[in-house]
Amino acid sequence: MCGIIGIISQNDVSERLLDGLKRLEYRGYDSAGIATLAADGEIDRRRAEGKLEKLADVLATRPLAGVIGIGHTRWATHGGITKNNAHPMANDTVAVVHNGIIENFASLKEMLQQRGAVFTSDTDTEVVMHLVSMHMQEGLTPLEAVQKTLSQVRGAFALAFLFKAQPHMLIAARRGSPLVLGITESELFIGSDAIALAPWVRTLCYLEEGDVATLTLHGDNAEVSILNEDGIAVERPLRQTNITADAISKGAFTHYMLKEIFEQPLTVSDTLQSLISVEDESFHAPLLALNKPFSKIRIIACGTSYYAGLVAKYWFEKLARVHVDVEIASEFRYRSPVFDGDTLNFFITQSGETIDTLAALTLVKQQGETCVAIVNVAESSIARASDHVIQTMAGPEIGVASTKAFTAQLVVLAALCLKFAKERNAISPHEWTNFFQSIAQIPGHISELLRNDGVYHQLAAHLCQVHHTLYLGRGANFPIALEGALKLKEISYIHAEGYPAGELKHGPIALIDSKMPVIVIAPHDEWFEKTLSNVQEVLARCAQVIVFTDAKGAAAIEAQTKTMPCYRIVILPESNMLTAPLLYTISIQLLAYYTAHMKGTDVDQPRNLAKSVTVE
Ligand code: F6R
């Protein structure tokens, strides 16, 4: 949440600060601002409430000069969505941008006010600005003032500072929230992630927990020095990035989300190829390295990634016969979980920065259990803190609603399931080969489904007029019902709930009337007959039933519902227990996307959300 950028150059930086913020806008879009050191040596800033385009308008009428500056795009935590609360916070000594939360800001604010500080915002960030300038007035250098301030504040955050008295220097500090430095021979950059810096740098340096970095540029001499949390000078590895500006453009698509949905044949295939070899039915290094014995599995995640974990529970238990617990990270970390030292823990996360998942990982690591990250961003905090990393090959996911990262997570989990099933001799070699070969066909089936996306336009035209929907599924497709409901509600703002179809009678059926669309995920699998009974039950109560199924399922439904037909039956390619969740997910994504698009919501940046949830 919140995106940070900083640049030191020999040319004006405000245009590039704005450009970098565009690539960070997925982290928050309540307000934005930039500050530079103007030619007269004063800190100058422009801020605007609302999306980045508002800031661009302000800059068009009141440009900002300066070869050094910082910028911020905000997801509001402390203080409402107003221009006054927009970062950078600045006085005539220092400007600061901040991602995260200063937990003890209230007591610090009181202390500062008693000493005469005048606050102009309701943010926790302003406390940092006042502390740093107070310490500089006491005679400390900017670096010492930042260090002293960091010793006074509690919480998880990333910060970047610009100083009036230091026209060639920026300071960046990381505690709990990510920060990366970009280094070229003649320019230096700070970013919340590598995507922000993609067009300008290939050499990156990720800050570690507690690091404070000083970036200086004198002429062509670019220097970075880093102190760790104990104040000791350290070197952090330099990494080369291959993220290009192309990988993060929308191309011809109307939204990132649609582009990312349509990328799935490729991202699923890339992820598969990184893990398995179809020809000789073998596994590649990321899975082979996972060879520690375990008695059970725990999967911890949030949101959509949590639903991937729920799918895996069905798969692992049925096919690999291993006990699986799936945990919501924000609950797990504050429960008193029991550890047996013999559990293999998976942390599923697209961003690798979700604060609750990271905190749960820290908790499990303290107990000495093995921690494996299934993560899309290879250099993320969760990847770096885990014992073992399996990367999903989804590429940068910019749309706030997760799509291609979810299917890539499912691919990893399906491959793991096959590995565990083989190691445990849990299914017959014949069955195993069938499953193995079937997941290899998934990219082709997804392409086929995407070629027929017209049906989702028609369904969306209907759905965009309703206020509530129910999604039903059974077995490994129950989590897909949950994911369908989440996708629809987060981007279209239509209230949606996902239920296991068998649970309907225990309450939610009371909601059914002729205005309620019920979306049923029902491949012709071992639960199909039971799901069909549930379809009958809702049809009998006049619901508008939309069923996603395959050819066999469609024939059975049509035969049984002649007198009370479904509103629509959508036929998907044939699938099995492992492949169905992957395929049916594409349907619920398209349905949510086109519905939201027809409603005219901001699909890529839905209200109140941010892509990377780095605050509790
Ligand atoms: C929903 C969505 C979120 C994320 C959740 C976890 O579309 O994207 O529910 O899945 O915030 O994020 P990661 O996977 O980055 O840990």
- Where in the chain is CATH 3.60.20.10? 3-248
The pLDDT score that the predictor gives to residue 26 is 84
The pLDDT score that the predictor gives to residue 78 is 87
Ligand 1 centroid–CA 73 distance in Å is 19
Locate the ligand 1 atom nearest the alpha carbon of residue 401 and give its number. 7
Ligand 1 centroid–CA 482 distance in Å is 13
- What end-to-end distance do the CA atoms of the chain give, in Å? 10
Spatial CB neighbours of 102, under 8 Å, sequence gap ≥ 6: 108, 124, 125, 127, 128, 153, 154, 155, 157
The pLDDT score that the predictor gives to residue 165 is 95
Ligand 1 centroid–CA 6 distance in Å is 26
Locate the ligand 1 atom nearest the alpha carbon of residue 354 and give its number. 16
Locate the ligand 1 atom nearest the alpha carbon of residue 405 and give its number. 14
Cα-Cα-Cα-Cα torsion 18, 22, 28, 34, nearest 10 degrees, comes to 0
Per-residue pLDDT tens over the stretch 110-120: 999 999 999 99
Ligand 1 centroid–CA 13 distance in Å is 32
Spell out which residues line ligand 1, taking CB within 6 angstroms: 302-305, 349-351, 354, 357, 401-402, 486, 490, 613
Whose CA is closest to atom 11 on ligand 1? 303
The pLDDT score that the predictor gives to residue 177 is 87
What is the rounded CA–CA span in Å between residue 251 and residue 247?
9
Best of 1, 260, 350, 608 to mutate for ligand 1, by most ligand atoms within 8 A of CB? Answer: 350
Whose CA is closest to atom 16 on ligand 1? 349
What are phi and psi for residue 326, nearest 5 degrees? -115, 130
The pLDDT score that the predictor gives to residue 258 is 97
Locate the ligand 1 atom nearest the alpha carbon of residue 306 and give its number. 10
Whose CA is closest to atom 5 on ligand 1? 303
Between the alpha carbon of residue 598 and those of residues 350, 368, 462, 492, 606, the distances in Å are 27, 50, 10, 9, 14
Whose CA is closest to atom 7 on ligand 1? 401
Ligand 1 centroid–CA 402 distance in Å is 6
Ligand 1 centroid–CA 559 distance in Å is 40
What are phi and psi for residue 74, nearest 5 degrees? -110, 140
Using DSSP's 3-state secondary structure scheme, residue 441 falls into: coil
Locate the ligand 1 atom nearest the alpha carbon of residue 357 and give its number. 16
Give residue 270's Cα distance to chain centre: 19
CA angle 508, 514, 515 (to 5 degrees): 80
Best of 26, 192, 299, 305 to mutate for ligand 1, by most ligand atoms within 8 A of CB? Answer: 305
What are phi and psi for residue 4, nearest 5 degrees? -120, 140
489 among known catalytic residues: no
Whose CA is closest to atom 8 on ligand 1? 402
2 among known catalytic residues: yes
Best of 402, 488, 615 to mutate for ligand 1, by most ligand atoms within 8 A of CB? Answer: 402
Ligand 1 centroid–CA 377 distance in Å is 13
The pLDDT score that the predictor gives to residue 77 is 85
CATH code matching the domain that covers 251-446, chosen among 3.30.460.10, 3.40.50.880, 3.40.630.30, 3.40.50.10490: 3.40.50.10490
- Point out the catalytic residue in the list 109, 419, 489, 611: 611
Eight-class DSSP state of 88: P
Whether 580 contacts 549, CB under 8 Å? no
Locate the ligand 1 atom nearest the alpha carbon of residue 304 and give its number. 10
| pLDDT cut 70: percent of the chain above it | 100
The pLDDT score that the predictor gives to residue 526 is 92
Closest CA to 121 of 77, 86, 150, 158: 86
What is the rounded CA–CA span in Å between residue 304 and residue 28?
19
Using DSSP's 3-state secondary structure scheme, residue 184 falls into: coil
Whose CA is closest to atom 10 on ligand 1? 304
Locate the ligand 1 atom nearest the alpha carbon of residue 301 and give its number. 16
- Point out the catalytic residue in the list 2, 205, 417, 566: 2
What residue ranges of the chain have pLDDT lower than 50? Answer: none
Is the bond into 142 cis (omega within 30 degrees of 0)? no
Residue 382 identity = I
What is the rounded CA–CA span in Å between residue 73 and residue 517?
38
The pLDDT score that the predictor gives to residue 27 is 87
Judged on CB neighbours under 10 Å (0-12, 13-18, 19+), 532 is buried
CA angle 419, 425, 429 (to 5 degrees): 85
Closest CA to 390 of 275, 270, 273, 286: 286
Best of 257, 306, 354, 585 to mutate for ligand 1, by most ligand atoms within 8 A of CB? Answer: 354
Whether 158 contacts 72, CB under 8 Å? no
Ligand 1 centroid–CA 587 distance in Å is 19
Residue that is written with structure tokens 């698509």 in the block:
253
- Where in the chain is CATH 3.40.50.10490? 251-446, 452-602
Using DSSP's 3-state secondary structure scheme, residue 310 falls into: helix
Spatial CB neighbours of 98, under 8 Å, sequence gap ≥ 6: 2, 4, 72, 87, 89, 123, 124, 125, 128, 157, 158, 159
Residue 167 identity = P
Beta-strand pair 468-473/517-521: parallel
What is the rounded CA–CA span in Å between residue 13 and residue 66?
6
Ligand 1 centroid–CA 115 distance in Å is 42
Residue 442 identity = I
Using DSSP's 3-state secondary structure scheme, residue 448 falls into: helix
Buried b (16+ CB within 10 A) or exposed e, 82-115: eeebbbbbbbebbbbbbbbbbeebeebbeebeee
Q: Would you identify the CATH topology of the domain 452-602?
A: Rossmann fold (3.40.50)
Q: Cβ atoms within 10 A of the Cβ of 181, count? A: 25
Determine which helix (DSSP H) or strand (DSSP E) holds 203, and give its type and residue range: strand 203-206
**What dotted CATH number matches 3-248?**
3.60.20.10
Ligand 1 centroid–CA 302 distance in Å is 6
Using DSSP's 3-state secondary structure scheme, residue 453 falls into: coil
What are phi and psi for residue 260, nearest 5 degrees? -70, -35
Closest CA to 11 of 186, 271, 138: 186
Locate the ligand 1 atom nearest the alpha carbon of residue 403 and give its number. 7
